[in-house]
Structures are given as C-alpha cells and as structure tokens.
A and B are shown apart, each in its own frame.
Chain A
C-alpha cells in the first residue's frame, strides 16, 4: 500500500477533485500502471542507464582500477596510432557499408515493387535469407569462402582469368571483405523497409505524374523519393548506428588483423578491455562511439515522432 500513496502523491494535482470513488479509481489506475511498468523500469535503469554511467566512471580509472586518473585513458589513446586507425576504419566502414546497403536495398525494393504481386512473396522470401541467418554464423561461411588457399570466390574469379585476391591477407582487401559481408547481411533489411514504404505511396500520385508527362526518372525524383524521405532517413541513421557498433563480422573474419588494421571500435574495445584485461581503457574506447550514436539517435527519434504525427 505504500506504493499506492507514493504514486498518488507524485501525480500532478490536475485530477479534478470528484467523488471519493472516482479519486480512488484514479489512484488505483496509477498504482496499477506503475506496477506494470516497474519491470521495464528495472531493466532500463539497472541494465542500461546504470551500466552507461558506470562505464563513464570506469573509463576514468587506472588499469588496476584503484585510483582515478581523470582523462588519462583518453590521452593515452589519442597518442596511439592504432587508435586513430580504429577511428578511420570505423568511419569508413560504417559510411561505405551503409551507402552500399541503402542503394542496393532501394534498387531491389523498386525491382520487387515492379513485378506482379503474385510473385513478390517468393522473391522477398529468398532475398531476406541473409538477414535471417545469425550474422556470426553466416560470416563463418564467408570466412571459408575467403580462405587463402581454398577460396571459392577466387575460383570464380579465376574462371574469367583474373589473378587470385588475397582477401584477408592484405589490409585493403580485408577491409573490402568486411564491408562486403556487412552489405550482404544488411541490404535485405533496407529492401524490406523500402518495399513497405513504397507500398504506402498512393497510386494516384503516379497516375497524376504520368498524366503530367513525367518520365520514370522524374516520377522517382519528384514522387517516390519525397514520399519516402522520412523512412529513408530513419533506416539510414538506424543502420549507421548498428553498423558503426558492429562486432561479430570483424571478430569472425579478421579479428582485427592484419596488423590491427581492420579493428573497429567494438572489436578494439573488446581486445583492449576483455582480452588484454585493461577494462578502464576498453570502456574509454567504446565510449568514443557515444557522440556519433547520440547524434544519429537524436535524428532517428525526430524522424519517428514526425512520422507518427503525420499518420495521426
């Protein structure tokens, strides 16, 4: 019953003072609502908010976690070349992969939208398979396809007479290999989101544009893209967050090698924090993801709220 009075007190006094039973009803409703959201609050507070602030605190400690060294961990990171490699690698990886995923997804969604409705289900089912397989496991398959001596991709390349590609041995190719796998996993997600958005564009708009003599490119530019702008930006930003924070593909494919040149933030934080046992510095590395994630999250949230308002 203490929870009962507590929530009743915390309610603003905007509830009109009515009959006693009504008051009791309102009080009971807020109590029930509080109890129902309590598990969710516990998850958010204990497993997200508390670890986040604890992570910030951790990043200011020294290696043995006995005393605070302020921004020492960050200063040490700024002085290492590996860290700057990680920054560049993460940014290049995330931006290239997201652009490729968005373009391929957009193209495929369009193609899928063009064919008769009867066949769409079948194609959609096939094309979503990369997204359904857990990425860590499908990356194992890619790893085997990139294998230096048994590469099945190199076999196909050799059929057209090109020299074999050192997929995971050369830094440049290893980066490309990681991006290829990420695009392979993520493009179907874009396709599905764009297809859902394409289907919600009213057919009359295209008819009106066709009557006005718009070419197919003009229909795309002036009807489809503006109608889908919001969903495109939400998907791109969301994917930017997920890609930027990606771990599984790098871990399985290269584990950061060759010569630590393919590490992204997550895999480097793992390497420093868990494997080498320097937990505070690992926490500092992963905190570097925070600013870019926060910016993306802000715009995703704005896009989603705007979209909700449109639909109301």
Chain B
C-alpha cells in the first residue's frame, strides 16, 4: 500500500505515465498474491487424497514403523491393491454399487426428463406450483427422512437389500435433475417447437427429436449429478443395510474394512481410493459438464 501512495505522490508531479507504472505494479503484486494463495490452497486441498495414496502403497510393517516422515514411502508395494482386488467381499461391494447406481441413474433420467418437459413446455393446472415443489423437495436433506423411510422400507421387506436402496435413492437425485432439466428445456427457443407443431409432430416426437438432442449438455450434466450422488450416498445404506453382501462401496469400505481389531490402514486407504475412483475419473474427463451441473441450480432455471 505504501508503494501505491508513494507513486501517487510522484504522479502528482510527473503526469500520467508514472501512474500507469504503479497500476501495473499493483496488478503484478495481485497476480503474485493470487498464485501464492492458489498454491497454498491446492496443497491443502490435495494433501488428504495424496496421503491416502501414499499410505495405500505402504506395507503394514512400514505403516507401523513410527520413525521417520509418514509422508514418504520407502518401499512402495501394490500388495494392498492386490489383496483388495482378490477379496470377493470388496468386489461384491463394487458390483452392488454399479447395479444400484446404474438403475438409479436410468430411473432418475427417465422421470426427470419426462417431468421437466411437461413442466417447461406444457402449461397445465398446477405446473408452477409443482415446479416450486420440486425445488423444495431438493432442499429436504436425507437425514430428515431416513427414520420414517427406514420404517417404510422395512414394511416393504426391503431392508438389507439393494432393491430398497434403488427405491429410495431417487429422492436424492430426481428433484435436482428435474430442476436443472426444466432450466435447460426452458432455454430452448419456442420457435423450434412451433415449427415442429406446424410440421405435425406429436408431443412425444417433439421431446425425442428436438428437446433431447438440443438439451444434450444439460442431460449429461444431470446424469453426472445423479451418478455422483447415488455413488456417494451414505445415510441410506448405513441405515438400511447391515449384511455385507448387499452393501454398496461407501458403507462397505467404512464398516467392513475398518471392523478388524488391528486396522489394516493400507488396505482401508486403497479401498477408499478405489471406491472414489469412478466419480473422480468422470470428473476428470467431463469437468465442464460437471461444473455446469453444479452451478446450474442457482444460476439457471
């Protein structure tokens, strides 16, 4: 700040050019500041996953050895990954997660695309009210409803079953996906459907031939959202599933790998990283869609 005020004093004397110099110096200082804070933030933000990775490469003897820097790995080994990938229980978790997530994403996208099309384009009795209701249900957290749902799912005989999870996961995904699909569909120009109507298209044809292709970025963003949410869901499986062979990955890793008396930290970390891999890979390849979906809730719609 003193540099700025000093150069202001100079500027009074020597005209506009020295002021421009101070501006660029201020800008350079801001840029340096920006890179410094981003670097610090990146180190802190990436440290836990990196440390998980480091631990997953260590054998149990090296983990138990308390001397030396825990952030370094001296004898890297893949035995933890090998043990997990030959562990039939872990593979079972993985299969369960894939089945649950696949079904939930499919159901969610069908429900929300149909509903969003109707809500965005066909004004009917109560459509405004219903759109608001969709957003409100999005704001209802899963921890508010898991106890009554526990009773309901138990009444249907679906506790300890992946089908019970497939039944309740749409409460996490459908409201937000419908909400952002309404936004995407509403941004499609009216002229397109008028032209289609004049050409004699029916409503289903309009949806399939015009809306779905045009709103493809929105559909991808919503699909990614549904995938990450149902892959990461934790409250419902923790409450509804206690038998290991029906567990999805999140609760499986947290409850089954941790259960032993002496914690196999290397395996736990390897398991957590493998379980986190699918969403991270999708994010790495479809980052722009991911971010579009993330920000769509409040900036669109």
Chain A contact residues, CB within 8 Å of chain B? 7, 10-12, 29-30, 32-34, 36-37, 39-41, 43-44, 47-48, 50-52, 54-55, 58, 104, 107-108, 110-112, 114-115, 121, 123-130, 132-138, 140-142, 144-145, 147, 149-150, 152, 155-156, 184, 187-189, 192-193, 196-197, 200, 216, 231, 234-235, 238, 241-242, 244-248, 251-252, 265-266, 269-270, 273-274, 279, 282-283, 286-287, 289-290, 293, 296-297, 300-301, 304, 307-308
Contact = CB atoms under 8 A, between A and B. Distances in A.
B231 interface: yes
B239 A270 contact: yes
Contacts of B234: 134-136, 247-248, 251
Contacts of B178: 40
Contacts, number: 292
Contacts of B42: 123, 126-127
B48 interface: yes
A301 B297 CA distance: 11
A269 B147 contact: yes
Contacts of B133: 44
- The winner among B48, B66, B283 for most chain A CB atoms within 10 A is B48
A274 B147 contact: yes
Interface string B241-283: 0000000001101100010000001001100110110011001
Contacts of B3: none
A114 B31 contact: yes
Contact of A140 (B115, B238, B272): B272
11 contacts: A10-B125, A52-B148, A110-B34, A114-B30, A115-B35, A125-B287, A132-B280, A137-B254, A141-B269, A238-B297, A301-B135
Contacts of A136: 232, 234, 250-251, 253-254
Interface in B78-135: 110-112, 114-115, 117-119, 122, 124-125, 127, 130, 132-135
A308 B297 CA distance: 11
B49 A33 contact: no
Contacts of A126: 42, 45-46
Given A58-B148, A137-B275, 17 more contacts: A36-B117, A40-B112, A40-B178, A47-B167, A55-B147, A111-B38, A129-B49, A136-B232, A137-B273, A141-B49, A152-B70, A193-B295, A251-B234, A266-B143, A283-B148, A293-B139, A301-B136
Contacts of A147: 265
Contact of B66 (A150, A247, A273): A150
Contacts of B290: 132
Nearest to B150: A274
Contacts of B299: 193, 196-197, 200, 231, 307
B286 to A, nearest CB: 11
B132 A301 contact: yes
A182 B48 CA distance: 13
B14 interface: no
A43 B46 contact: no
Instruction: For the complex of A and B, list the 3 residue pairs with the smallest distance between their C-beta atoms, beginning with the closest.
Output: A134-B232, A245-B141, A266-B143
A287 B48 CA distance: 34
A51 B49 contact: no
Given A51-B149, A138-B276, A231 B298 contact: yes
A50 B236 CA distance: 17
A254 to B, nearest CB: 13
Contacts of B276: 133-134, 137-138
A119 to B, nearest CB: 9
B223 interface: no
A32 B203 CA distance: 8
B228 interface: yes
Interface string B150-170: 111000000000000001101
A111 B34 CA distance: 5
A304 B301 contact: yes
Contacts of B63: 150
Nearest to B240: A274
A244 B297 CA distance: 20
B283 A128 contact: yes
Contacts of B280: 129, 132-133
B122 A30 contact: yes
A47 B143 contact: no
A241 B135 CA distance: 14
A247 B144 contact: no
Nearest to A53: B148
A102 to B, nearest CB: 14
- The winner among B142, B228, B232, B298 for most chain A CB atoms within 10 A is B298
Contacts of B70: 150, 152, 155
Contact of A137 (B130, B140, B238, B250): B250
B152 A40 contact: no
- The winner among A140, A147, A235 for most chain B CB atoms within 10 A is A140
A93 to B, nearest CB: 13
B228 A132 contact: yes
Nearest to A30: B124
Contacts of B31: 114-115
B16 interface: no
- The winner among A130, A134, A142 for most chain B CB atoms within 10 A is A134
Contact of B151 (A135, A241, A279): A279
A142 B238 CA distance: 20
Nearest to B55: A144
Given A44-B134, A140-B269, A238 B148 contact: no
Contacts of B30: 114, 216
